[in-house]
Amino acid sequence: MATFNINNIIRPNVKAMKAYSSARDEFKDINDGFVFLDANENPFNNGLNRYPDPLQRNVKSILRENKNFPANQILLGNGSDEVLDLIFRAFCEPNQDNVIAISPSYGMYSVLSNLNAVEYRKSLLNEDDFQPNIEDIFSKVDENTKMIFLCSPNNPTGEIIKRDSILEIVNRFNGLVIIDEAYIDFATEPSWIQEIKNYPNVIVTQTLSKAVGLAGIRLGILYASQEIVAVLNKIKPPYNINQLTQLKAIEILSDYDKVVTATNTIIQQKKVLENALTEVSFVEKIYPSDANFILIKVDNANERYDQLVEKGIVIRNRNNDNLCKNCLRITVGTEEENGKLIEMMKKLEA
Ligand SMILES: *Cc1c(COP(=O)(O)O)cnc(C)c1O
Task: Delimit the domains of the chain by residue range.
Answer: 6-254, 257-348
**From the CB of 220, is ligand 1 less than 6 Å away?**
yes
In this prediction, residue 24 has a pLDDT band, given cuts at 50, 70 and 90, of confident
Q: What is the pLDDT of residue 2?
A: 73
The helix (H) or strand (E) run that includes residue 247 is: helix 243-253
Q: What's the average model confidence in pLDDT over 27-50?
A: 87
User: Measuring from atom 10 of ligand 1, which residue has the nearest CA?
Assistant: 182
Pocket-testing residue among 210, 240, 294, 318, ligand 1, by greatest number of atoms within 8 A of Cβ: 210
**pLDDT tens for each residue of 49-88:** 999 999 999 999 999 999 999 999 999 999 999 999 999 9
Q: What's the average model confidence in pLDDT over 278-303?
A: 97
pTM of the model: 0.96
Q: Which residues contact 305 (CB under 8 A, 6 or more apart)?
A: 315, 317, 319, 328
Strand order across the beta sheet in which 293-298 lies: 283-286, 293-298, 327-331, 316-317
**From the CB of 106, is ligand 1 less than 6 Å away?**
yes
Nearest to 39 by CA among 23, 21, 54: 23
Cα(324) to ligand 1 centroid in Å equals: 20
Residue 259 has pLDDT above 90, yes or no: yes
Q: How high is the mean pLDDT of the chain?
A: 96
Q: Which residues contact 185 (CB under 8 A, 6 or more apart)?
A: 210, 211, 212, 263
Cα(206) to ligand 1 centroid in Å equals: 8
Q: Which atom of ligand 1 is nearest to the CA of 207?
A: 8
Fold of 257-348: Aspartate Aminotransferase, domain 1 (3.90.1150)
Q: Which atom of ligand 1 is nearest to the CA of 106?
A: 13
Buried b (16+ CB within 10 A) or exposed e, 295-311: bbbbeebeebbebbeee
Q: Which residues contact 138 (CB under 8 A, 6 or more apart)?
A: 172, 173
**From the CB of 149, is ligand 1 less than 6 Å away?**
no
Task: Name beta bridge partners: 120.
Answer: 99
**pLDDT tens for each residue of 156-178:** 999 999 999 999 999 999 999 99
The helix (H) or strand (E) run that includes residue 13 is: helix 12-16
**From the CB of 215, is ligand 1 less than 6 Å away?**
yes
Q: What is the pLDDT of residue 27?
A: 73
**From the CB of 209, is ligand 1 less than 6 Å away?**
yes
Residue 6 has pLDDT above 90, yes or no: yes
User: Measuring from atom 3 of ligand 1, which residue has the nearest CA?
Assistant: 182
User: What would the CATH number be for the domain defined by 6-254?
Assistant: 3.40.640.10
6-254 shares its CATH topology with 257-348: no
**From the CB of 186, is ligand 1 less than 6 Å away?**
no
